[in-house]
């Protein structure tokens, strides 16, 4: 019986992902997961430490990775369980925290806040960036296994003494505070926070790492190229156009560490699956489609094939290209080993590109960054800047501009990053006028992830 292409919305998943967290966050992440066809999610509701840890322990031999939707469950699992699979969580990044602080400022007159789960320095940093310096923040050293009753008692005592609003990242704490009539706001991860966490999980699983060196073949066809050439008066101009196209293709293939072959009527490129997935942000971003249309005026159809052999990958690339042509062109389709289809990957502009976060996958690096208070937002901005400008050395003033923070905040952040060895001082910037020379810092984590 001949194989047929599966519906593109139902490709066979490759990675079994156990997702553990409260019901509302499970419902929130479900539509986000639809953009990650490689995952087969299994959802488990947990609002207590005991249930979360028991669920994780039971799943360790049946899934490829675990995703905790609340960070305190993740920390408890890391500290108490010996899991032989990757575990991930969705950190409470600046976007969710900004939202909660905005709501507190809008709904309550008090300038006192009690916090749990979230770093005190991080909250102060965000408030400083918002120019909100009148708040008093109360916090205790709650570990990942602090009983919920102790956390609740802390918020109650602070409320009674300071008329404070509780800021929590735990659904169970939020529920109890509501029952007790204590004013509170719960920090909830945004869709973008979830996307970043899922991208990291995708690239970090053992299954994915085993496929990173797999050969990928792609075919690029110029849509209705004859009509395009009719605009030109001479064969010389047509040949110059072809040279421009080939140069653009060469530049893009260089970005994905690939090899380009001109087949006459179309182009063939070869790269590895790991590189292709990273550069396309998990099969979402192919700027070549946009650049060719905008800068040269030609539309491209791209078909990409995965396979257990080069022959199979080539056959799948041809099937994918046919799908792109049938759709009308200016898109890319991908056919995987099981002949399931991912796509269409459509035209993506530069402004759209900014919405996709660069992924960091080194686990030890991520751990150091989290301990030093480096948020995913900061790391993303720096990675994006380095990718565009190939610049890894910054002064505090340049860092402040990049991260859209004050110079004072930049100096404070750099001290933490120095302690965590995420940056190092490589020299000083000389001035012709009076004043202290500015130190120049090198971003070690970017050096490790991008430049090498």
CATH number at residue 222: 3.30.70.270
Q: What are phi and psi of 307, to 5 degrees?
A: -170, 165
Helices (H) and strands (E) in the chain, counts: 20, 17
3-state secondary structure of 176: helix
User: Domain with 135 in it: what CATH number?
Assistant: 3.40.50
> So what's the pLDDT on residue 233?
84
Q: Which domain holds residue 428?
A: 363-451
CA dist list (Å): 46 to 22, 54, 77: 5, 10, 13
Residue 254 located in a structural domain: yes
CA dist list (Å): 204 to 127, 276, 389: 33, 15, 27
Residue 10 located in a structural domain: no
- If asked whether residues 347 and 248 sit together in one domain, one would say yes
- If asked whether residues 226 and 139 sit together in one domain, one would say no
Q: What are phi and psi of 48, to 5 degrees?
A: -125, 160
- If asked whether residues 326 and 223 sit together in one domain, one would say yes
Residue 308 located in a structural domain: yes
The pair of three-digit structure tokens given for residue 451, joined into one six-digit string: 């430049």
Q: What is residue 38's DSSP assignment?
A: T
- If asked whether residues 129 and 37 sit together in one domain, one would say no
- If asked whether residues 52 and 120 sit together in one domain, one would say no
Residue 30 CA to residue 67 CA, distance in Å, equals: 13
Last residue within a domain, chosen from 147, 175, 207: 207
Residue 334 CA to residue 363 CA, distance in Å, equals: 29
Query: Residue 1: how many CB atoms within 10 A of its CB?
Result: 3
Cα 332 from chain centre: 22
Residue 292 located in a structural domain: yes
Residue 7 located in a structural domain: no
Question: Strand 39-45 vs strand 65-68: parallel, antiparallel, or unpaired?
Answer: unpaired
Q: What is residue 295's DSSP assignment?
A: I
- If asked whether residues 180 and 197 sit together in one domain, one would say no
Query: Kindly report the CA angle at 149 between 167 and 145, in degrees rounded to 5?
Result: 85
CA dist list (Å): 393 to 49, 326, 368, 405: 43, 47, 20, 18
Residue 158 CA to residue 180 CA, distance in Å, equals: 14
Residue 317 CA to residue 144 CA, distance in Å, equals: 48
- If asked whether residues 75 and 197 sit together in one domain, one would say yes
Residue 444 CA to residue 365 CA, distance in Å, equals: 10
- If asked whether residues 294 and 218 sit together in one domain, one would say yes
- If asked whether residues 176 and 280 sit together in one domain, one would say no
Residue 248 CA to residue 265 CA, distance in Å, equals: 16
- If asked whether residues 267 and 137 sit together in one domain, one would say no
Give how many domains the chain has, as a whole number: 4
Return the half-sphere exposure (C-beta side, CA atoms, 13 A cut-off) of residue 100: 26
Q: What is the CA radius of gyration of the chain?
A: 25
- If asked whether residues 218 and 312 sit together in one domain, one would say yes
pTM: predicted TM-score of the whole model, two decimal places: 0.48
Residue 452 CA to residue 449 CA, distance in Å, equals: 7
Q: What is residue 357's DSSP assignment?
A: P
> So what's the pLDDT on residue 326?
80
> So what's the pLDDT on residue 280?
81
User: Domain with 406 in it: what CATH number?
Assistant: 1.10.10.10
What length is written for the chain?
A: 452
Q: What is residue 213's DSSP assignment?
A: T
pLDDT along the chain (452 residues), means of 10: 37 79 94 89 92 92 91 86 86 78 86 86 80 85 72 93 92 92 91 87 71 89 87 88 92 90 92 84 80 88 92 93 85 86 62 35 58 60 58 82 76 82 79 67 63 43
Question: In terms of Cα–Cα distance, which of 257, 254, 232 is closest to 242?
Answer: 232
Residue 375 located in a structural domain: yes
Residue 197 CA to residue 19 CA, distance in Å, equals: 12
User: Domain with 76 in it: what CATH number?
Assistant: 3.40.50.2300
- If asked whether residues 202 and 83 sit together in one domain, one would say yes
Residue 3 located in a structural domain: no
Residue 6 located in a structural domain: no
> So what's the pLDDT on residue 353?
32
The pair of three-digit structure tokens given for residue 199, joined into one six-digit string: 């991208």
Last residue within a domain, chosen from 326, 351, 376: 351
Are the C-beta atoms of 261 and 271 separated by less than 8 Å? no
> So what's the pLDDT on residue 294?
85
- Percentage helix, strand, coil, to 5, in the chain? 50, 20, 35
């Amino acid at each position: 019986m001949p194989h047929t292409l599966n519906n593109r919305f139902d490709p066979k998943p490759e990675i079994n992902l156990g997702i553990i967290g409260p019901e509302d966050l499970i419902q929130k992440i479900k539509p986000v997961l639809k953009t990650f066809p490689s995952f087969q999610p299994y959802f488990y509701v947990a609002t207590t430490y005991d249930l979360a840890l028991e669920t994780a322990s039971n799943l360790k031999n049946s899934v490829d990775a675990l995703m905790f939707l609340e960070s305190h469950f993740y920390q408890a699992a890391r500290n108490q369980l010996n899991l032989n699979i990757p575990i991930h969580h969705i950190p409470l990044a600046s976007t969710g925290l900004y939202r909660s602080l905005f709501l507190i400022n809008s709904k309550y007159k008090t300038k006192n806040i009690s916090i749990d789960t979230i770093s005190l320095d991080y909250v102060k940093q965000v408030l400083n960036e918002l120019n909100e310096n009148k708040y008093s923040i109360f916090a205790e050293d709650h570990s990942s296994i602090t009983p919920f009753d102790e956390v609740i008692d802390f918020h109650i005592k602070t409320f009674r003494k300071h008329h404070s609003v509780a800021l929590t990242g735990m659904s169970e704490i939020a529920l109890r505070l509501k029952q007790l009539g204590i004013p509170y706001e719960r920090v909830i991860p945004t869709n973008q926070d979830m996307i970043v966490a899922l991208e990291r999980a995708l690239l970090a699983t053992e299954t994915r790492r085993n496929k990173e060196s797999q050969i990928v073949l792609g075919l690029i066809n110029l849509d209705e190229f004859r009509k395009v050439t009719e605009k030109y008066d001479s064969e010389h101009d047509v040949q110059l156009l072809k040279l421009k196209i080939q140069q653009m293709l060469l530049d893009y293939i260089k970005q994905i560490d690939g090899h380009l072959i001109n087949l006459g009527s179309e182009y063939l490129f070869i790269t590895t699956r790991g590189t292709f997935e990273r550069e396309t942000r998990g099969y979402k971003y192919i700027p070549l489609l946009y650049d060719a249309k905008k800068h040269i005026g030609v539309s491209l159809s791209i078909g990409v094939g995965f396979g257990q052999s080069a022959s199979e990958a080539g056959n799948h690339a041809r099937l994918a290209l046919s799908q792109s042509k049938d759709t009308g062109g200016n898109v890319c389709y991908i056919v995987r080993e099981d002949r399931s289809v991912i796509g269409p990957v459509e035209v993506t502009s530069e402004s759209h590109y900014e919405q996709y976060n660069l992924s960091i996958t080194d686990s030890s690096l991520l751990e150091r960054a989290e301990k030093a208070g480096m948020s995913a937002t900061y790391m993303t901005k720096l990675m994006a800047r380095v990718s565009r400008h190939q610049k890894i050395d910054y002064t505090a003033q340049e860092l402040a501009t990049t991260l859209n923070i004050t110079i004072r905040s930049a100096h404070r952040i750099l001290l933490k990053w120095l302690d965590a060895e995420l940056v190092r001082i490589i020299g000083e910037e000389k001035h012709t006028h009076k004043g202290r020379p500015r130190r120049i810092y090198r971003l070690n984590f970017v050096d490790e992830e991008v430049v090498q």
